[in-house]
Structure 1
């Protein structure tokens, strides 16, 4: 086995996935940036959730907004719903794993807030329930998916934004999700700071 060639192929595949996605995703990413920025300017917050690697992505996104991305600026209201082990285990134990995010959305979300819902398959049960809860609270949903969007793609409303990576391999979708998250952070900063 030629490991160097295998590594190089992974780099090439990852780059190609991103290049394949740009034409399809640039406009909805720009719309998501504007929606998120308007939410934050108007005193709203962004709640983010996902499972596994997508949980890490939701935390990464919240950290970039609360701290900073690349430029110093005021703190921005973002909460990853994946971090409080007591809440997650209490809800998972007392209710069900499918409700670990939806109950938090109902408790923390308000009209005008945004749910950033991340699922590579578009079929994660607890993300679907979180989106339902967000809709109940008149929140906008920005869904970050792949593999055609799954059930999440089908349940989004007209005011929601679907950022669906045109790929089927989970690793490539996750890598592109991270780039999308960085694009969101960069765009929010550009609008807030007036950066060209």
Structure 2
């Protein structure tokens, strides 16, 4: 094994990510801030976020829904967020009966309501099942956001808005998508998704801790 070649590969990977994030920071933070603000106007009043992706993008979409149902940094209410690809029985039944292109679209029809938000992640922006979901979502009155690799691409064109990551590798696109998920959560919290903690309660206080102190 040539250790220098292995180390060079590691350096190239990190440099690719650094280059990608430099462009990401300059081009995409404003869009994520706007998305976070819109999300903070939808979820606290009973709206829902639906998310989907394939492969590594499925993991990123599920990361986003977990942050919303749970919490990102500080204690906050639980918000409705569903990762459509994680519904394994629905995915396999729909794929078997209607075809793989419909595995997300049919769930969007079932769960989505006008005003809800649909987030679709794809490094290529060419996944047919996500494009079909975008078309279905917009027809049903959902707001459709796409996180993709370099644009233009069909998914970005099918969505209401798209954040296209300009990168020279799929890995860098996926890593930038994770940053986008975290920045979106930061902006959502800052825009009102996470109410300020009560006086004397730490940002990470567990639920009920303040009430227990009052009773003690």
TM-score with structure 1 length normalisation? Answer: 0.93
Q: Which runs of 5+ in 1 are unaligned?
A: none
Q: Do 2:58 and 2:85's aligned partners in 1 also have CA atoms closer than 8 Å?
A: yes
- Aligned residue in 1 for 2:156: 153
1:20 corresponds, among 19, 23, 42, to: 23
- Aligned residue in 1 for 2:116: 113
Partners of 1:63 and 1:149 lie apart in 2 by: 29
TM-score with structure 2 length normalisation? Answer: 0.85
- Aligned residue in 2 for 1:170: 170
Partners of 1:87 and 1:153 lie apart in 2 by: 26
Residue 121 of structure 1 deviates from its aligned partner by: 0.9
Mapping of residues 116-195 of structure 1, within 5 Å: 116-156=119-159, 160-192=160-192, 193=194
Partners of 2:135 and 2:78 lie apart in 1 by: 28
Q: Do 2:16 and 2:167's aligned partners in 1 also have CA atoms closer than 8 Å?
A: no
Tell me which stretches of 4 or more aligned residues in structure 1 moved more than 3 Å: none
Q: Which runs of 5+ in 2 are unaligned?
A: 197-216
Question: Measured at CA, do residues 10 and 168 of structure 1 come closer, stay the same or move farther in structure 2, by a change above 3 Å?
Answer: closer
| Rg larger for | 2
Matched residue SS, 1:82: helix
Residue 194 of structure 1 deviates from its aligned partner by: 5.9
Bigger CA drift: 50-59 or 161-170? 161-170
Partners of 1:36 and 1:191 lie apart in 2 by: 9
Partners of 2:49 and 2:152 lie apart in 1 by: 21
